[in-house]
Amino acid sequence: MGGCSVLGRIWGVWRRRPGVRAVPKAPGFGTEAGHRLRPRGSSNRSRPLGGQPFPGLLQLENLSREELVDVLRAAVVDQKGKPGELTLFSVLPKLSQSLGLGDQELQVVQASGKETSGLVLLSSCPQTASRLQKFFIHSRRAQRPTATYCAVTDGIPATSEGKIQVALKLEHVDGVDLVIPVKSPSRKDFQEGVKRTLSHFRVVAMGSGCALVQLQPLTVFPSQLQVHMVLQLCPVLGDHTYSARVGTVLGQRFLLPAESTKPQRQVPDEALLRRLCLTPSQAAQLPLHLHLHCLHLPGMRPGEAPMKLLAPLPSYFSRTLQCLGLHQQ
């Protein structure tokens, strides 16, 4: 099976080192040997904020089309086979040429939301893309997770692990598409676009009123993981769309009505701002701390063992973990 490339998500930029190597199990995220990308010049130490409060965050509005192609090409983790609006899709033809694929067109096989960092799976081979899509569909039907995310949450889930099941629908509200939970959906609701969703979660570390959480979606729906964590009263740090649905009275959290709660910038409390060394204006630009860390894939050829692809955390994500004292176990 050829024609497959894996990219580090462009919102958390890192560069490829020559070659691909196997790595041992990564504690805290349940990953085994696979292909792993290490960020160049990475460090575990917190860095001064200076003029860049979120190191490693790529600002797309500051890039030209050619620069974005260079970033994507440098972010290739592994490549099997031959080596208008500024979006990933708009630069795929040029990226294909840059990777030496000739007339072969790249297509997106697996990707997360636009604000999420991590892996993006591309293929230049229609047969490979079809096989991978069937693999993902079959895995979902069998309720076998193929993607593992890590998230920093504002708040700590009530249980250390569990599953979140809820029906969701997409509504256009005041010019914005928002995901709304649906209680006790009817057959008509499902016919009109309501979908049952399911995610597994596990708390990896806790500290400073926040948590490092491993998330594995078993279904596919826009903003599923963000909405699921809001329902746990623990919105993802940097979620400026759905976190407003969590209210607080006398230190107790509760859910506000999703239908009538408009999106607004997430406002961490003063103690959390101090921990993060951020001003309120900087916190308003806090990136979403949701990262596609691992993808499970079938063997590239018949008889080959399954593989796992790993992407390291963006530097701003790692810095947040240090500031909050969230250490992987």
Q: How far apart are CA 322 and CA 228, in angstroms?
A: 25
Pair 173, 252 in one domain = yes
Does the residue 138 lie in any domain?
A: yes
Q: How far apart are CA 128 and CA 298, in angstroms?
A: 11
Q: pLDDT value at position 95?
A: 80
The segment with the largest mean pLDDT, out of 63-72, 154-163, 277-286, is: 154-163
Pair 134, 10 in one domain = yes
126 band by pLDDT with thresholds 50, 70 and 90: confident
Residue at which a domain ends, from 120, 144, 168:
144
Pair 154, 140 in one domain = no
In a 13 Å sphere around the CA of 31, the CA atoms on its Cβ side amount to 31
Query: Counting every residue, how long is the chain?
Result: 329
Q: What is the mean pLDDT of residues 254-282?
A: 93
Does the residue 289 lie in any domain?
A: no
The sign of the dihedral angle between the CA atoms of 138, 144, 145, 146 is negative
As given in the structure block, the two tokens for residue 179 are 């995901």
Residue at which a domain ends, from 144, 162, 197:
144
Pair 134, 158 in one domain = no
Does the residue 307 lie in any domain?
A: no
- pTM, two decimal places: 0.75
262 band by pLDDT with thresholds 50, 70 and 90: very high
Q: How far apart are CA 265 and CA 190, in angstroms?
A: 31
Pair 178, 72 in one domain = no
Q: Would you give the DSSP letter of residue 91?
A: H
Pair 131, 167 in one domain = no
HEC sequence for 203-247: EEEEECCEEEEEEEECCCCCCHHHHHHHHCCCCECCCCCCHHHEE
As given in the structure block, the two tokens for residue 244 are 């407003």
Lowest-confidence pick of 42-56, 194-208, 241-255, 302-316: 42-56
19 band by pLDDT with thresholds 50, 70 and 90: very low
Does the residue 310 lie in any domain?
A: no
Q: What is the mean pLDDT of residues 61-87?
A: 59
314 band by pLDDT with thresholds 50, 70 and 90: very high
Lowest-confidence pick of 89-98, 207-216, 255-264: 89-98
Q: pLDDT value at position 286?
A: 95
284 vs 95, which has greater pLDDT? 284
Q: What is the mean pLDDT of residues 109-113?
A: 82
Looking at the predicted structure, is the pLDDT value of residue 65 above 70? no
Pair 107, 168 in one domain = no
Residue at which a domain ends, from 144, 162, 178:
144
Pair 22, 137 in one domain = yes
Q: 94 to each of 72, 90, 171, 190, 253, how far by Cα in Å?
A: 10, 9, 35, 40, 48
Burial of residue 123 (CB within 10 Å: 0-12, 13-18, 19+) is buried
Does the residue 109 lie in any domain?
A: yes
Pair 76, 157 in one domain = no
DSSP string, 142-184: TT---EEEEEEEES--SSSEEEEEEEEEEEEETTEEEEEEESS
As given in the structure block, the two tokens for residue 286 are 């806090």
Domain count, the chain: 2
Does the residue 74 lie in any domain?
A: yes
Does the residue 80 lie in any domain?
A: yes
Q: What is the mean pLDDT of residues 80-106?
A: 71
70 band by pLDDT with thresholds 50, 70 and 90: low
Which residue range forms the structural domain that includes residue 183?
A: 149-283
Does the residue 291 lie in any domain?
A: no
Q: pLDDT value at position 56?
A: 65
Pair 11, 77 in one domain = yes
Q: What is the mean pLDDT of residues 85-102?
A: 75
Pair 88, 178 in one domain = no
Pair 58, 136 in one domain = yes
